[in-house]
Amino acid sequence: MYPAFVNCTTIDWFSEWPEDALLEVADKYLENMEFANEEEVRSLLSFFLIWAKIIDIMCYITTVSINFVNAPSPIYPHSHF
């Protein structure tokens, strides 16, 4: 379903992953762990999904902030330095 996992191609980490892909990866990592019940597993998968979205938002904010700080100023053009 996700060929990058099968044939070792490069994964584009900069585009947003669909929720089902994130849940499938998290489920794969948890499959060998023992849990008390299925509700605990679903709760943990939801937690992973929420954190993936938070990290995505924080990366976007950081990128926008860096671009804002590094943007050339219209008042002091680079040719005057």
| 30 in Cβ contact with 41 (< 8 Å) | yes
pTM of the model: 0.56
Residue 43 maps to a domain: yes
SS3 category, 44: helix
Is 1 a member of any domain?
Answer: no
What percent of the chain clears pLDDT 70, i.e. is strictly above it? 68
| Other CB atoms within 10 A of residue 5 CB | 13
Asked whether residue 80 is domain-assigned, the answer is no
Q: How far apart are CA 52 and CA 56, in angstroms?
A: 6
- Residue 56, pLDDT > 60, answer yes
Domains held by the chain: number: 1
Per-residue model confidence (pLDDT) at position 3: 54
Nearest to 1 by CA among 38, 18, 46: 18
Q: Domain range spanning residue 61?
A: 13-65
pLDDT of residue 19: 87
